[in-house]
Structures are given as C-alpha cells and as structure tokens.
Structure 1
Amino acid sequence: MKVLVIYNPAAGGGRDALLRRFVQALQARGAEVETYHTTGPGDATRALQARTDQGDVVVAVGGDGTTNEVLNGLQPEVPLGLFATGTANVLAKELALPKHPEQAAEVVVNGRNLLVWPGQLNAQRFLMWVGVGYDAWVVRGVNLAVKRVFGKLAYVQAMLQQVARYGQVRYRFVIDGREQLAYSAVIANASHYGGDFILSRQARLTAPTLQVLMFTRPGRWQLIKCLAALPFGLMESVAGVVSVSARDVQVEVLGGITDEPLQADGDPAGQLPARVTVAERPVLVRVGRTPLPRVDGPAN
C-alpha cells in the first residue's frame, strides 16, 4: 500500500513526535510512505492537485481544517485517511477514530472504506458544517496566537466576544425552494460540533442530505439558551431553532451588508451570498472495522 501523508505542522501547535510514530507504525505494517509538510493555508489542496499519482490512500495529519484542504485536493476513488492532531478534531470524533498513532496507522492499513457524502459550499467541499452569522463570526474572530497556546479556549474567547452582536444581522435562506429568515445558522453534514458536543441528531455523513439549523429568534439570551443546550445535545429542541433536512441551500444577508463571512469545517470560507449543496459524488474515508456508533433521537 502506498500512503501519502499530508502533515500540517501548525495544527495543534505541532505534533512532530506523533507524526514520526505514525509513519513508523505505517511502515511496520508494510506501507510505503511519503510525507509532505504543508507550508501555509491552502497548500495541501494545491500540492495534491499538482500530483498525478496520490497513491492508495491520502492521510491528513492535523485538524479539521487540514482534512478539509486534503478533501478538496483529493482525486476521485482515492480514500481519505485521518490522524487527528489538531485542536478540536471533530471529524475524528464523528468517525470514532483513534487518537494514538499506532492505532491510527492500523485503521489506515487494515481498516475499511466508508462511503461519505460531502457538502459543497460554492466550489469548495466540506465534511462537517458551514456556519452563517454567529458561528462564522466566532471562527473569523479566533485569535490564532491564543489558539496555538490554549487550544479550544481561543474559541470560547471568540464566542464570548460575539454574543452581543447576535440578532443585529438577518439572513434569507432558500432551502430546496422554501424561504426562511433567520439570525444565524449552521448547515450540518455530521452530528458532532466542537469535539464531543452533539449539534444535530439528524445529520449523517453517510446520507446525501444536509441538516440546516436556523436560529430564528433574536436576542443574546436566546443565543445563550442555544449555547447552553449544546453540551446536552439538545440544540434542536430549543424553541426558535428550526432544523430541516435539505439538499440545496441558498443564503444571502439582508440590509445591504457586504462583509458577512462564512466558515467551513472550522476555518474561514469566504463571504455571502453562497450556495450550499450535497456534493455530486461521495468520497471514501478509512475507518475502523467495527460499526460506527449512531447518534439517535428526535430533534424536537
């Protein structure tokens, strides 16, 4: 097996020792390994697009943003492997992937391929979510220096800084032809958010649909209620949160505002207006041999 490892040395403050153990574990299992170190944002995508031969599997070593970049450079039919060394590692949690390098190498070499449907934001694919409004403001507002030192606390800081702004901007969504107004939204392709939290009990990576959670009531206390429900997996049960399944979502900001950001898989991803759809084709992701745990339960 030929394994191409794409390593982001900036993710999680750097994990060079873990990378070495991971590569050694791959080689001990008979894999032929090539390692590429990224040099900055977007480099993983560009480097992969420039290659005619990506091997038998491409492994993203980093966080969710690194995985997103690898996804967008991946050739059709080449499986995506993961060894999560970033800050949140939400996708690894979603797929029940191991944290230890030897176990992660075992999954890459001897695991199985899972058929996963990405979402697509304009021309960019994503695996986890797209954020509009508050969620996107938080991602744009994360202090990268704080993130390198304190990890997830940088997101908490950004969340607190953006609470007062919630409700001041309104958005128009057209969801499979039906119109809805909201003050923020997360378009989810998977159930987890921020690590262990369950954002949506209806979203499935393996289903060719998206789950759109729209926050339809203004006011900081309304937002605080939603955030307080997140650790309990009850976001979709909060009054004022509308959760609908969709394949095609068009979004624009109202009021003539021109600088409204988006986030995809935890990184800035351009500005509104935007169209979010299910990608035209699925991708293969390397997972363990045992079935994935399901997140069951009604949204409301």
Structure 2
Amino acid sequence: MRALLVVNPAATTTSARTRDVLIHALASEMKLDAVTTEYRGHARDLARQAAQGRDVDLVVALGGDGTVNEVVNGLLHQGPDPERLPRLAVVPGGSTNVFARALGLPNDAVEATGALLDALRAGSERTVGLGLTSGTPGSADAAVPARWFTFNAGLGFDAGVVGRVEQHRERGKKSTHALYVRQVVRQFLGEPSKRRGTITLTRPGEEDVTDLVVAIVSNTSPWTFLGNRPLYTSPKASFDTGLDVLGLSRLSTAAVARYGTQLLTSSPERGPQGRHAVSLHDLSTFTLQSKVPLPLQMDGDHLGLRTSVTFTGVRRALRVIV
C-alpha cells in the first residue's frame, strides 16, 4: 500500500517529536510519502494530486479539522467516486477534532495512529456522506466555487464567532475553548439583529422557514465539543443520512441563556428546542438566503460574507478508515 501523509506543522496539539514518531509508525506498515504543508490550501493541492494520479491508495491527514477539510476538498475536486478515489484516514492534531471524534477515533494523536494501523490491518472502513455547498443560481454568489464540508456549516451568528476567533489567531492568539467562549459573548453584544433575523430557508415542495438569525447545518453529531463535552444541535444528524438544520429566529438575552443552557446539557437524544427554534432532519438539498450579507463558516473555517448558499447532502461520498 502506498500512502500520502499530509502534515500540518502548525497543528495545535502535536509537537515535532510526536509527528516524527507517528511518521515512523506509519512508515513501518506502508510505503509512505510524508509532506509538510507550507501555505493555506496546500493540503487541498496535495490531495487533489493524489486523487488525479492512480498510485496512492490512502491519504492520511495529520492536523485539525481545517486540514481535514482541505484534504477532503482536494480528494473530491472532480466529484465523489468512492471506489476509485484514495481512502481517507485522520490523525487528530487540532484543538477540537470534531470529524475524527465523530468517527469514533481517539482524540490523542498517538492513540489514533494505533487505531488507524489496527483498522488497516483489519480492513475496517466506512463510506460517509458529506455536505456540499455552492452559489445559488441567479444570486450575487452564483459564481462562488463549490465546497465540501465534513461535519458542519453555519450562516449567521456562529460563523461570526468563527470569524472573530480567526482574527485573534492571525494576531498570534492560541485557539482555545476559552477564546471561543469570549467571542460568543462579543458576537452576541455586537449582533445587529437579535430579535428578527434575515435568513430564509427554502427547499423544494416545502413551505419556507423565514426570519432566522442563525442556521446551523450538521452532517453528523455532535455539532462540536467544549473541551471533552459534546454539544448537540441536531442529535439525529449522521454520516449515513442527508443534512440536518437547527435554525433560531431570536437571540434575545433570554433566548441565548435558554439555548445556551440546552446546548450545554444536550445529548444524543435531545438538542435545543423551543418556540424560536426549528429542527429539520435528513435534507437532500436546500438554500439559505439572507436579506443582508452574513458570515459563512464550514468546518470551522470562516469563508466571508454571503447572501445565498445552496446546500446538498451527498450520501456515500468518500471511504474513510475507521
């Protein structure tokens, strides 16, 4: 077996020594080419080259969710073809590692490498569904390139939080859960539309859902982690179904306190609920449109402001070693 290991040297929770140990362990079991990323988008370029060739059987992403997202977008550059494309494996090295943990992998890089090697020896893999976004025909964002996401996306409030965190990271701040919590508070205090939102969700054959302040799209569950605590916005979301959506139409102080408490106490059986919350399960395609440009995030990556985004749940998009 020939494998490509894509290494993010800025991964939050792995040292250079740990990465060397992991590379040695993987190289002992396969023909391994290890490449360290040098710029934003490099992981995507490397994975795209591996997908276009026919000699790489496995692409291993060593890094956080951003690295995984780039690798997935590179592998699926010309669309899903699970039987032809290299398989994906993940060694978590970020601060949260939602995709890896949702797959049931250990959150420790060394333990995850051991689990990966065991899975390869046993031939254990699964084919997962993924989310795909594109610009909506006829909108100002029609020409925006399509992009895949692995676990979640969001338009509005949560994407604004992600953007604030990225600004702090660009200034040298370390990505921590405390940083995220602080930015949630600051985003709320600066939110211009707390009581009536600007987002409308449309889907074929169904009544529109209007006046949303935030729309959180999930491809799996949990939505994210606060330390070791999983947070569930759409508990029924799964890699084996379409996309789920949690929409909130109010962000008053009382609503934030209520939904924040529900998130912290959420479980695989119960997520946020209430008069100003709407939950949709297993959607194949839908569009989020906003009267004003709003921030968009995918897999924790801030993608700027958008007024219209079309989402598609693509089942059985990629083979993953688990």
Shorter-chain TM range is 0.7 to 0.9
SS in structure 1 opposite 2:238? coil
Are 2:97 and 2:107, in contact at CA under 8 Å, matched by a contact in 1? no
Instruction: Deviation per CA, 1:160-182: give whole Å up to 9, x if none.
Output: 11112152642111034431011
Look up the match of 2:133: 121
Look up the match of 2:243: 210
The residue type equivalent to 1:18 in the other structure is: T
When normalised by structure 1's length, the TM-score is 0.86
Give, in whole Å, the separation in 1 of the partners of 2:104 and 2:315.
25
Give, in whole Å, the separation in 2 of the partners of 1:89 and 1:101.
10
Label 1:50 to 1:230 Cα distance change in 2 as closer, same or farther (>3 A): same
The residue type equivalent to 1:172 in the other structure is: T
When normalised by structure 2's length, the TM-score is 0.81
SS in structure 2 opposite 1:50? helix
Question: Is it true that 1:171 corresponds to 2:199 in the alignment?
Answer: yes
Runs of 4+ in 1 over 6 A off after TM superposition: none
Are 2:68 and 2:90, in contact at CA under 8 Å, matched by a contact in 1? yes
Give, in whole Å, the separation in 2 of the partners of 1:280 and 1:94.
16
Give, in whole Å, the separation in 1 of the partners of 2:188 and 2:257.
8
- Per the TM alignment, residue 105 of structure 1 is displaced from its structure 2 partner at its CA by 2.6
Look up the match of 2:259: 226
Look up the match of 1:42: 41
Give, in whole Å, the separation in 2 of the partners of 1:241 and 1:81.
35
Are 2:235 and 2:271, in contact at CA under 8 Å, matched by a contact in 1? no
Give, in whole Å, the separation in 1 of the partners of 2:10 and 2:299.
16
- Per the TM alignment, residue 16 of structure 1 is displaced from its structure 2 partner at its CA by 2.0
Give, in whole Å, the separation in 2 of the partners of 1:150 and 1:262.
19
- Per the TM alignment, residue 198 of structure 1 is displaced from its structure 2 partner at its CA by 2.2
Are 1:236 and 1:242, in contact at CA under 8 Å, matched by a contact in 2? no
The residue type equivalent to 1:110 in the other structure is: D
- Unpaired stretches in structure 1, ≥5 consecutive residues: 288-300
Look up the match of 1:285: 320
- Unpaired stretches in structure 2, ≥5 consecutive residues: 135-145
Look up the match of 1:135: 158
Aligned residues between the structures: 282
SS in structure 1 opposite 2:105? coil
Are 1:133 and 1:262, in contact at CA under 8 Å, matched by a contact in 2? yes
SS in structure 2 opposite 1:252? strand
Label 1:2 to 1:107 Cα distance change in 2 as closer, same or farther (>3 A): farther
